[in-house]
Structure 1
């Protein structure tokens, strides 16, 4: 039997080559405010997880996608909590002060991600997966916007959705656990079943997992840390349920929020309607396997049946889409029959690009399952559904960030020429040195009426501290006066430039009037010439 596909990768294909062809276009669309969905599909043991995750030095599609995102938008990221998710699949915008207060509030609270993640702190299996020379970035990144990256990690097991980043409590009374995320177990205590999450529809008719943990990450290392935590919980699930391989669908969601800068190019525009949100879903499907061949019984039989049922629903949805597309029919697509298809309903309706990587193992025992996988995968590539995505228009001039940075550089240069502090960091360092020179207060308790040493010593220390305080005040006033004079000079230079521009505009206006009058005269002469030619022809 022969099957035809858009691209076939041989056994010697590197992870980098696969990423360039399959996932890089999806990441590029994500950065340009378009959604994407990527499946890995195949028989159990065919290499789906290795394709998605990879190994040290051979990072798969997921780590390379994260690395490309942060290489592209890293210099333009907003500060933490300036953009934050709400509970309804939307995005909120906070000003700098509120974001700073929330950062200080959460510093002392336990979080999903450590405060200072690094590759050395990661599990060796997930550290250093990408060589620096293989790093890539997207072209055409909007520099007049700020970006924030949010990640979430869920698994769909027995048609229930579990949050792998959620810290679930434990209960020693209930002995069972059905595969969700849990914290570390205390001695002689069992896990309780984690709460299954519900699917909801937001105001834009997009499906999302209600109550799912979304973590804001600022680097590839931080995102790796989140993924590693989720993977660890999936391994715990496999160990608890004595599973040789993962029998659940895992979904790693990368959400990118893009907010335009204000007219000054310094802060984010405080309008949540201008925030553009796009997401990339990386799905590692459970292995396709016939229940008759597994010889499973009881809960294992039900588990395999649920996996095959969800994969069958995915196949049915794509077949109905294909029939609607090729025959012009309008059959209802059974999205709600499975959590996998229901979650990605918007993608099948055209809300982004969908790609599937089919993993094949040439094992003789998997022959019949492989044939079904190949037949289904060949049929899916005939389905093409897409619709345009409307981005919000802020209506501000381009190049705002560069102009603001040029203004700051010019101000720092002039301050440096006049001998002042180059920036606020140098001023803070001077103040820090003065504070370090403050003498400590001596013991001021007087127990002896004839003590003539304590009080003079205290007066001397207070006088020194008062002098240092005066020096700090003078330093602040000097820096403020210098900054004020520089701003006045820049303001006057801007005014003179504006006057010059106005004069040039006036001259251009006069030239336009002259050109208009000359054009009118040319038209009059052309009409007169035509009239004379007509008279000449008449006389001839």
Structure 2
């Protein structure tokens, strides 16, 4: 039996920290009015801005619970999450997740400290207080999503985990470890072990910033059968690069966090509209796929939004309150879990039998004939005709050969259907994995092309120096040494990229073989035209994705070369301007010497910059699988590469012949392969001036 349940939304305001208190311009902009309402004050209210004097500067928000800066962990637990324990013990699923910007106290609420444990510890402790340890068993799993990669926090040797869906649409993480927790002490130990492996790095906005989303799964088993689940989720906080001062890896982490939280925000917006025919895109990130049941499926869910009271974070606080207010409108359909082997009630069985009898009358005839063979008496035959349902019930429970054969056929059909759906899910998962591998291959090829071009320029500089400037070795020793170090590092990186490409190629070929195997198995199991058409559609989608990635890969490499060429053409214009001034002759000696020096510098720069573009060897995409199977469909991309190579050759001849004026072609014109590339080539005009 199922019932509707509104999402429970609570708000928690953390205290102002020392840094915020030291700023004189800061003040508390959000206040709890009572146990449910909060007041948000816009800092512009006190700026006396005439243009915004009619703007609404105060807003009230109402939630299921609101907690001020002085609230305690036990208070939050008792008011929001404690009732969820009864749901889990009764055989339902429940979810608690913390939402809010970075540094707002989410990890403190969920994990807490040794003296003040968070909801993860308090909820599991309450769960043990409600159950009989001889009847129930508790298992824990702990994972994190870091840069869209799933990792097992309880088993660091597990590697990267996949996210798959079974034939019923339930999200599964194969290979995720499951640890038995017989008591609260073991739970505390498991939580400490998992939290110590979480990815945390300091930023300017938060000294203990969580760089990943963490999900603790508590599974309750009753008499060795799964009974209920409790999900406890600590989300990473949204952040602004201008506030966190992040660079490099931290900046990439922040971008991944913001993308997943944006996907979560889009899901909340879609679910809060209340439109039954809406489309909710859960597949934009792994976070939303994991939260699919929690937000729109079979779970009693509590969202605890967190905000900072400081006026300097007003925008983040306002956005969090708006999303939390929308989340109140989300409705889930909770259903009590039951074992897969549980029998249907008698009334449902009778109802199903009547439907089957009305739909397939031949079944009753077959059963009647079996009954006639067992008893040749006419009265028995008459009773069968008067009461057709009785022999059908007997067919379901009898052990006669005819009944067993029909029952076995139905079981076989169900097994075939389940196996077919399982293979279909494996094929889709393999297609998604192949797509990600091709993306990695594209990135590796792009970086290898860039590094190789830079290395070629530096090698040319070293060759020219060794040929002409050997006597000035001491004068340029630092520069030459630095160039040699750069070349060595680039060669090392190229070697690493080559190995990486080989591994990715091998994985792509293996995935291709797996796809062929799954395709053949699905075709063997296909029972009707609908399933055969589905197989063709899946294969066609995978092929189209492969072709698109191949074209994108080749296009990206050509765009990189075009960018290099644009830079070189700009130097050609500068080279031409200086040459014109030198030829004009209207210069004094000082200006002429200065221009000649600049002329020589630009000439050398231009020469070394064009060296990589003059190389005859093409940039190979290394996607051997695609080029082998779809070579004919890549002809346009290869023709473009040939035309661009001709363009480079023509440009270099013009440069060597005289002064050149060109109309630069932006690389975006080459992104669409459907255009007439000959027009793009004709746009490059040259006017040659004789010396």
Structure 2-normalised TM-score? 0.39
More helix by share: 2
